[in-house]
Structure 1
Amino acid sequence: MAKISINLATGSLQKEEIIVGIDLGTTNSLIAFIDPDKKPKVINDTGKGILVPSIIHFNTAGEIVVGNEAREFLISDPANTIFSVKRLLGRSYKDVAEHLDTFSYQLIDDDDDSLVKIRAGNKFYTPIELSAEILKELKARAEHALKTPVNRAVITVPAYFNDSQRQATRDAGRLAGLNVLRILNEPTAASLAYGIGLDPTEEKTIAVYDLGGGTFDVSILSIQNGIFEVLSTNGNTFLGGDDFDRAIVHYWIEKNKLDSVAAKADPVLMQQLRLKAEEAKKALSSQNLFNEKLGEIWCTLDKQTFELLIEAKVTETLNSCKQAMADAKLSVAEIDEVILVGGSTRSPYVKAKVAQFFGRQPHDQINPDEVVALGAAIQADILAGNRSDVLLLDITPLSLGIETMGGLMDVIIPRNAKVPTKAGRQYTTSIDGQVNMKISVYQGERDLVQENRKLAEFELRGIPSMPAGLPKVDINFILNADGILTVQAIELRSGVKQEIAVKPSYGLTDDTVEKMLTDSITHAKTDVEQRMFIEAKGEGEQLVYTADRFIERNGNILTPEELTHTKLHITALKDALNGGNKDIILKKADELNEFTRPFAERLMDMAVSQSMKGKKID
């Protein structure tokens, strides 16, 4: 007997599975799909609202709360409430060190270039795991609202996201149980939502102005033959509507003659003022005066004053637009369309300034909070083959990458990337004096190379003998229209180069590809856990190696007590490495790092002091 599925939410006959579009945002995230009338539609599950705040809270029992329910813990338990995790995707501690004051939770300084980790309770999380929790919440809401399984998705990212950040987003999707069909640029998604770029004969140059709660970026895109090319992007990942709220709060503190130091030291008051400022900002989009009271504090603001308060920040965004135009080597007259994205573009002042800058009215007909998710749903519909009017370019059926330390697969060209394509990443040596590097090329979706298909192997010889981490080896994958993959490896300091050509899809049937994809989803959780353990172990082993070498070479600058304690920390880390717990390894590595950090500073001070001896400073 044949089974027919009916979608209880719409009453219509249901295909086996829906492909969704997801806007994974810094401040809020949301999910959209194509409804039975072939229209993109955002999901509002059981009245919880369309926007899911990108906030994750870990309680003392280890339970995880995501979204609106997690927001209230920003004040009561800030150390275990994670927000703005998108800023940390694919980033190392060094990348975000200068913005630490914007995070109320603990980021781990492991003193190297590995990806940043976040501590909540006694556990360590990567931004990938945390983003996966947001995606799981979105998936659950969609499945509840649509009464059907949701396993496939298109997820959007900013145009400026690098390869590492895109791969981290893809990994987060997999960890959430989603088969990520494509990572799509947010400005491209916004264009698709307005129908721009769906006609393959259309040729346009567009600007996408995206001002969200915490970030701003502008992208200049060229659209030809259905292909979106990012000509330039500019912005500030720490500028957004939150800055408008802060300006209002500071204005009210001054107007009410409050003690600013005391006010800022009161987190409950500051949060109440911030929420009231957000209310005022929204109200002034449609009225000229906001006048309410918070206890004994008058929260009064007129439209003109509000515009003066935000003028400097808006000017900053327009300077970014100017730079993006210069980088794209275009004049404003050459821009055919302007699209507004992000809730902060609702401000009439922002709209007017953008229109003035580009000399044309921007598109704002679609809700700016929803436009990216709606565009992602359209892209998902194209990938599902439901739009015969849109050209779907050839894509790579499986990810291509190389083997890295611990037998891990490092993806360089993700599956579903358009062909032809080129991508690359930089690597270095892990052992002092290493002069050769073996490069093994694999195809597949699993985290361990042993589960994937080996395509080729070659050796880059003649790397200059240097300490570990100093050589810089660029590995580039070039995949042409015929599916031929060329892999190039070049050591940048010496110019030593080697390359090989392979045909990645040779000998693979559709059934084999399908099985490899199914296996990657089935084993996603264990694969990612295994990857994280291997990465933690690799970092721990590297730290033990570095600490042992430091003692061997510079033990004389340590007191006997410091030497004893350092050795105890090293032994504790070695013991943890022999166990199988990622969090214990990271905890012991963090403790060793914290204890030994002053020694490196002491060594640096001694070196500077030695070099300055006998020298006069005028």
Structure 2
Amino acid sequence: MSKAIGIDLGTTYSVAAVIEDGRARVIKNAEGENLTPSVIAETAHGHILVGSVAKRQAAANPERTILSIKRHMGTDYRVSLNGQSYSPQEISAFILRKIKSDVENHLGECVEKAVITVPAYFNNAQRQATKEAGIMAGFDVMRIINEPTAASLAYGLDREEIQTILVLDLGGGTFDVSILELGDGIFHVKAVSGNTRLGGDDWDERLVDYIAEKFSNEYEFDIKSDKIGLQCLREACEKAKRELSYKPGTKISLPFMKTHSGEIKNMEAPIDRETFEAITSDLRDKLIGPTWQALSDAELSPGNIDRVILVGGSTRMPVVRHLVEKIFNKKPYIKINPDEVVGIGAAIQAGVMMREINNVVLVDVTPLSLGIETESGLFAKIIHRNSTIPTSAGQIFTNAKDNQTAMDIHVLQGEREMAVDNISLGLFQLTDIPALPRGKAHVEVTFEIDVNGIVKVSAQELYTEQQTGITIDASHLLSDEEVEYAVKEAQAHAEEDVKRREEVEINIQADSMIRAAESELASTPYMHQIEAVILDLKEALAEGESNLIKNRMDTLRSLLE
């Protein structure tokens, strides 16, 4: 039997883990790292780069580098690579294929099954898109589970006493709060809340805006109008944000920047933690509302929470930990690496489903209410938010007009009272309704949600038993045929991908050399020469020309020696 793995498909980084000897462990990628950047790029020669190599060349190739695609899952957003248009799930499939290949190479066996995590507040379209991405990557997606739920599995597996846990998950692009009751091998999700458009990327962008303005004033250079310069600044600001989590201050430095006049300048700006927290205070405040909403939905107060668990690399920011201490009057529980805990939990769920782990039951909930539009544009909720899944529920509706023989069923997801204010999931029509006076025809609308949180809706006229329905697959998502085509296309290019192995390996070596060189900058007298060669090597990665990459690696190697 092939292995099943757990995957945390993140906005900025992704993680894979597997159960071995009854315990979950993170699997290193081809570059020897636990975290794989969720980055895709196209070189000048039309080759696709995925992961660390794509991230390293982003500054030299910003127009053909795709970042944070997870923020667009479940939408009709498209990107272009090699002259082709791709959906967010197709781009995510590139990341998942790399993960699958790296895991198989590491384990020495084929991996077909996976549990993939999503933010707790992802709606149906976003969950469906995530599942499609997994299928296109060649996985049998056994389950889609919420990221905070996965984190609780990782933390609570060995606990027997009943306790109430709040999981605060701040990743690169999303924010979730989940409240769970753990005990006797049962993981019961009581409430979820969050914001799918808030994450560490927003802190990065705020710092980018602040430093860009300083550079404009000091150097008379609008770095935002220079695509390469802007990407360099984004990378420097992300690095500075991480450093400010453990240092009171740092310096953002961009060497060899070419201004609009063609002048080369070394640009620098100091930033301290106090200033960083001041310019991002409104982002911090956005964490408070969903936290109190989850507590309210679970009918709990902060004092009822036994442990607060932090998940996601962005929770390393001191301001997040101070906020937790202020609300809950206790320090957060940080036992597992917040970057890896979700992947580990996903692996545990995979282990449960493969019967490698026993005595664990996961009870999850739906994050938003589901229902239909009724007369006058009202939203009738049929399954309410935080209902335990899998579940089903129905409600009987009548005809709004005399002799109405057809009824349009508009399926919605959300919490607003008016249909127009909620998320539209799909539309179908029930026909051949008997021509009866208003209020006399009876139609039962039934919703079913499976363990992945994916929705099926049916409508039946009770007198004639005429029935129709849909599995929610909004128009902006791919059809089964399109998903199948994407899978076949990936299989058709498998041989071509093997031929490119040498190129990929060269890219990996270059990426490793760049990382090693950057770590040595502070201790070498040749700092500026090395920085210049690093930039040349990043440009070579963007070009995708193997011989050029080799030559520039040799140049860098000679300087380091």
If the length of structure 2 is used for normalisation, what is the TM-score?
0.63
Tell me the equivalent position of 2:485.
Answer: 529
In structure 1, give the amino acid aligned to 2:248. Answer: N
Matched, 1:23 2:3: no
Tell me the equivalent position of 1:187.
Answer: 148
Q: Identity rate of aligned residues, in percent?
A: 40
Deviates most, 181-190 or 213-222: 213-222
Q: Secondary structure at the match of 1:151?
A: strand
CA distance in structure 2 between the aligned counterparts of 1:277 and 1:325, rounded to whole angstroms: 34
Tell me the equivalent position of 1:568.
Answer: none
CA distance in structure 2 between the aligned counterparts of 1:370 and 1:478, rounded to whole angstroms: 29
Deviation at 1:166, TM superposition (A): 2.0
CA distance in structure 2 between the aligned counterparts of 1:134 and 1:47, rounded to whole angstroms: 14
Matched, 1:161 2:122: yes
Gaps of 5+ in 2: 256-265, 364-387, 395-402, 410-428, 437-442, 469-479, 490-561
Tell me the equivalent position of 1:387.
Answer: 357
- Structure 1 residues 223 and 263, CA gap change in structure 2 (3 angstroms): same
Aligned residues: CA RMSD: 4.2
CA distance in structure 1 between the aligned counterparts of 2:42 and 2:252, rounded to whole angstroms: 35
CA distance in structure 1 between the aligned counterparts of 2:80 and 2:434, rounded to whole angstroms: 38
Contact 2:4 2:351 (C-alpha < 8 Å) held by counterparts: yes
- Structure 1 residues 328 and 32, CA gap change in structure 2 (3 angstroms): same
- Structure 1 residues 230 and 391, CA gap change in structure 2 (3 angstroms): closer
If the length of structure 1 is used for normalisation, what is the TM-score?
0.58
CA distance in structure 2 between the aligned counterparts of 1:496 and 1:282, rounded to whole angstroms: 64
Note the alpha carbon deviations across 1:331-352, whole angstroms, 9 max, x for none: 2122222111111111222212
Contact 1:460 1:497 (C-alpha < 8 Å) held by counterparts: no
CA distance in structure 1 between the aligned counterparts of 2:249 and 2:284, rounded to whole angstroms: 21
- Structure 1 residues 313 and 176, CA gap change in structure 2 (3 angstroms): same
In structure 1, give the amino acid aligned to 2:232. Answer: Q
Q: Secondary structure at the match of 1:279?
A: helix
Q: Secondary structure at the match of 2:280?
A: helix
Deviation at 1:373, TM superposition (A): 0.1
Q: Secondary structure at the match of 2:114?
A: strand
Tell me the equivalent position of 1:606.
Answer: none
Note the alpha carbon deviations across 1:476-501, whole angstroms, 9 max, x for none: 23899xxxxx984169xxx9995889
Q: Secondary structure at the match of 1:153?
A: strand
Note the alpha carbon deviations across 1:496-537, whole angstroms, 9 max, x for none: 995889xxxxxxxxxxxxxxxxxxxxxx9986218999xxxx
- Structure 1 residues 316 and 464, CA gap change in structure 2 (3 angstroms): farther
CA distance in structure 2 between the aligned counterparts of 1:230 and 1:57, rounded to whole angstroms: 40
Note the alpha carbon deviations across 1:111-143, whole angstroms, 9 max, x for none: xxxxx4444343222222222211111001111
1:395-410 superposed matches below 5 A: none
Deviation at 1:261, TM superposition (A): 7.2
Deviation at 1:23, TM superposition (A): 0.3
- Structure 1 residues 85 and 479, CA gap change in structure 2 (3 angstroms): closer
1:538-577 superposed matches below 5 A: none
Tell me the equivalent position of 1:146.
Answer: 107
Contact 1:221 1:229 (C-alpha < 8 Å) held by counterparts: yes
- Structure 1 residues 531 and 142, CA gap change in structure 2 (3 angstroms): closer
Contact 1:211 1:343 (C-alpha < 8 Å) held by counterparts: yes
Of the candidates 335, 338, 341, which is equivalent to residue 371 of structure 1? 341
Q: Secondary structure at the match of 1:33?
A: strand
In structure 2, give the amino acid aligned to 1:27. Answer: T
Deviates most, 345-354 or 369-378: 345-354
Matched, 1:135 2:96: yes
Q: Secondary structure at the match of 1:45?
A: coil
1:188-227 superposed matches below 5 A: 188-195=149-156, 203-223=162-182, 226-227=186-187
- Tell me how many residue pairs correspond in the alignment: 409
Contact 1:56 1:66 (C-alpha < 8 Å) held by counterparts: yes
Of the candidates 291, 301, 310, which is equivalent to residue 321 of structure 1? 291
Of the candidates 299, 302, 327, which is equivalent to residue 269 of structure 2? 299
Q: Specify which structure has the higher proportion of strand.
A: 2
Tell me the equivalent position of 2:211.
Answer: 252
Tell me the equivalent position of 1:238.
Answer: 197
Tell me the equivalent position of 1:442.
Answer: none
Deviation at 1:355, TM superposition (A): 1.8
Gaps of 5+ in 1: 1-15, 93-115, 394-417, 425-432, 440-457, 466-471, 481-485, 502-523, 534-618
Matched, 1:274 2:258: no
- Structure 1 residues 121 and 437, CA gap change in structure 2 (3 angstroms): farther
Note the alpha carbon deviations across 1:540-582, whole angstroms, 9 max, x for none: xxxxxxxxxxxxxxxxxxxxxxxxxxxxxxxxxxxxxxxxxxx
In structure 1, give the amino acid aligned to 2:166. Answer: A
